[in-house]
Amino acid sequence: MTASLRTEIHYGHAQDFGYDGDKGPSHWGEQYNSCTGKHQSPININSLDVKKVNLPPLVFQGFDVSPRETNLTNNGHTVVVTMESEVTPTVSGGPLSGVYEYSQLHFHWGDNDTFGSEDMIDNHRFPMELHVVFFKQEYQNARTALNHPDGLTVLAFFYEISPQDNPMYQEFIELLGNVTGSHLSAPFNTPPSLKDLIASDLLHYYTYDGSLTTPPCSEVVTWIDFKEPILLSHAQVQAFRALENEEGHPLTHNFRPVQPLGDRVVLYNTDEIIKEIDLEKQHPEEPSEGVDTNKLDTGKPEVATKSPKDPNDRKNAAPSMIAARWSALVVALQLLWNVFLCSERY
């Protein structure tokens, strides 16, 4: 069965928002109330303030299948990739409850290579960021998923600059020249699979609950930010900056400033073994001074050993031993004195 994946999340009409002036991010909340919410994206992730966890493995289906048809579209805000495929890519597992189906992918970038990503890691912005958008399968499509708090998940990948071109993006970059103007589309001759466009390490990632980063800023997104960056050359990233927005101006930047974290907790999935501590259980007694805690809880049966004598016992025993020795010396002197007296008499 052929699955049509042309579904695109329409965040709003092209004239409704932008990234500068009266249409810029600071004015989005005037028309879209959700943009002033308390759980907005993007955020700055402090790697020292995350909670390390061992989540179930993410399950990727159809990521390695080349679509039958893939189109690249400049929608005036970014460049969007939609697909038609025999196999619908899906993701599940990890922090997700249920199966999420591919909708589209798009990009965010900046004026130069020092910034452009939306989420930040330890106050560091990357030159570009990829968002692969999925909707929860039970909600049928991306539009209706916006009405549910767990409606969407976005797989986010950061880019770093490499001295060499990334060959997996060769046709992609060439097609950008065909969609410079707003609302232009171009098909791929050799459609890439999702696996071709993303990083290889899909185990280490940050995840948190947030929102769309463009109007209507709906707080319905489970964000999964992968730690390993994708490498592109400066020239490849520069090609995105040649696109034009709705007004025909260069789309040199299209990222939203970071939003307050608020009461949210960012999780970091790792392959390290994380021990959960039950605070309700009674803690074992602290080992006495001098015990090597590295050897506690070895799991080996205890072996009875002879305890060393208490040094205090030695202290208590010392005075009695000295007294006994003095008594013996006095007796010996008394005997010698008696012998001396007897010899004087005779």
Single-letter amino acid code for the residue at 98: G
Tell me whether residue 77 is one of the annotated catalytic residues. yes
CB atoms within 10 A of CB 346: 4
- In Å, what is the CA distance from 300 to each residue of 111, 153, 303? 62, 47, 9
Report the alpha-carbon distance of residue 226 to residue 194 in Å, rounded.
15
For residue 59, what are the contacts with CB-CB under 8 A and spacing of at least 6? 91, 92, 93
CB atoms within 10 A of CB 53: 15
* Residue in 77, 106, 108, 131 annotated catalytic: 77
Both tokens assigned to 69: 């048809």
Provide the β-strand partners of residue 286.
none
Report the alpha-carbon distance of residue 217 to residue 16 in Å, rounded.
13
The rounded radius of gyration (Å) of the Cα atoms in the chain is: 36
Q: Go through the chain and tell me how many residues it has.
A: 346
By annotation, the residues acting in catalysis are 77
